[in-house]
């Protein structure tokens, strides 16, 4: 048994998983998330804001204390989209190193896709046919990766819930022209992704990360966030798309009143829902045009964190 810590620092949130790894399986001790909005304004300014760094460092301090208390043997800290884009990333990286004692890794979109695929597919059973198309929808980027036993093709798109909100969906609720501009951006990104990822081969579509799990909670009619109900749930794509539409067009106050809604997602879930709606429609059409069917989508609570944890254990052993 190896006790590891995996930390995923994205554009909107920073997450910690402490788990025991035994014979290729994870046993969770801690799985937690803090919305820090590290990527606040990065799309416009190209650098981290001072208050965003302060929020993130406070979360890292708390995570470091938990790791010490639990006797973690190996830690891997991964930073993704916002850190790839920020010109002052060195301030962030050094601040994390001082607090946690490990060097953060600013990974590429391809590595992000590989880790997400490993985490998501580690818990899929034989009832789900391969190839799998795993979609990891984050704050600054969205990864799409196709594969069976491992990734065969992947692409990282610079569209995410925070980036699209800051760039386009500024009204409450979003106005028609704002949505149209965002959809144009999203379609352009999907066009580029589909050039290198043969999504028409998809037999199981798997969605990951906070925007998608929140959409799923809404589609399931949950009164509070229930990770066990969400994980592994299979939704008709039409039902998932309807849930996306409802969240996109809702006011922020009405979103905030939903019992499953995390306060840090209230302002950005509309954009996340729009990205997910557009992607589901495009993938389903591609599969249909190739003579297949894709009636449903699977939501997984296992994602890049799980992939990071597996890799941390392998490095130690």
Residue spans of the domains in the chain: they are: 2-109+307-316, 125-299
The 10s digit of each residue's pLDDT in 251-270 is 999 999 999 999 989 999 99
Closest CA to 13 of 59, 51, 49: 59
CATH code of the region 2-109+307-316: 3.30.420.40
Whole-angstrom distance, CA of residue 154 vs CA of residue 174: 31
Q: What angle do CA 9, 12, 17 make, to 5 degrees?
A: 40
226: Cβ contacts below 8 Å, ≥ 6 apart? 217, 260
- Please name the residues in contact with 175: beta carbons below 8 A apart, sequence gap of 6 or more: none
Lowest average pLDDT, out of 87-96, 175-184, 284-293, goes to 87-96
pLDDT tens profile 90-107? 999 999 999 999 989 988
Distance CA 136, CA 121 (A): 12
Binning pLDDT at 50, 70 and 90, where does residue 139 land?
confident
CATH 3.40.50.2020 describes domain 125-299: no
Q: Which region holds residue 219: left if phi is over 0, alpha if psi is between -120 and 50, else beta?
A: alpha
pLDDT for res 152: 94
pLDDT in tens, 193-204: 999 999 999 999
Per-residue confidence band for 150, with pLDDT thresholds at 50, 70 and 90: confident
Same CATH fold assignment for domains 2-109+307-316 and 125-299: yes
Residue 81 has pLDDT above 70, yes or no: no
Q: CA 128 to CA 205: how far, in whole Å?
A: 9
Q: Which residues pair with 235 in a beta bridge?
A: 297
What does the alpha-carbon distance between residue 94 and residue 87 come to, in Å, rounded to a whole number?
14
> How many Å apart are CA 20 and CA 5, to the nearest integer?
9
Instruction: Record the pTM.
Output: 0.87
What is residue 264's DSSP assignment? G
Would you state the pLDDT for residue 180?
98
Q: How confident is the prediction for the chain on average, in pLDDT?
A: 93
Q: Which residue has the tokens 């990104």?
A: 189
Q: For the segment 24-54, what is each residue's pLDDT rounded down to a tens digit?
A: 889 999 999 998 988 888 878 889 999 999 9
What is the rounded CA–CA span in Å between residue 35 and residue 45?
20
Q: What is the pLDDT of residues 13-25, one digit of tens each?
A: 899 999 999 988 8
């Amino acid at each position: 048994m190896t006790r590891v810590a995996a930390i995923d620092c994205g554009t909107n949130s920073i997450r910690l998983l402490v788990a025991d790894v035994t014979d290729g399986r994870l046993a969770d001790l801690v799985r937690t998330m803090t919305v820090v909005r590290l990527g606040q304004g990065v799309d416009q300014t190209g650098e981290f804001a001072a208050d965003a760094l302060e929020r993130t460092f406070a979360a890292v301090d708390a995570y470091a204390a938990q790791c010490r208390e639990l006797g973690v043997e190996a830690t891997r800290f991964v930073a993704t989209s916002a850190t790839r884009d920020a010109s002052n990333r060195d301030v962030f990286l050094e601040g994390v190193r001082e607090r946690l004692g490990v060097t953060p890794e600013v990974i590429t979109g391809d590595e992000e896709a590989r880790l997400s695929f490993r985490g998501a597919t580690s818990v899929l059973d034989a009832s789900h046919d391969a190839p799998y198309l795993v979609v990891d929808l984050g704050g600054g980027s969205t990864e799409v990766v196709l594969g069976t036993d491992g990734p065969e093709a992947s692409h990282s798109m610079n569209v995410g819930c925070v980036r699209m909100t800051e760039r386009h969906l500024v009204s409450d609720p979003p106005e028609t022209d704002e949505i149209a501009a965002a959809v144009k951006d999203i379609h352009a990104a999907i066009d580029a992704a589909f050039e290198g990822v043969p999504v028409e081969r998809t037999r199981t579509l798997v969605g990951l990360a906070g925007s998608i799990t929140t959409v799923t909670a809404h589609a399931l009619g949950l009164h509070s966030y229930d990770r066990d109900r969400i994980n592994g749930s299979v939704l008709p794509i039409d039902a998932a798309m309807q849930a996306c539409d409802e969240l996109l067009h809702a006011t922020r106050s009405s979103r905030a009143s939903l019992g499953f809604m995390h306060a840090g997602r209230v302002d950005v879930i509309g954009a996340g829902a729009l990205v997910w709606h557009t992607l589901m429609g495009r993938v389903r059409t591609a599969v249909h045009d190739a003579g297949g069917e894709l009636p449903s989508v699977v939501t997984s609570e296992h994602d890049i964190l799980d992939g990071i944890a597996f890799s941390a254990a392998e490095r130690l052993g």
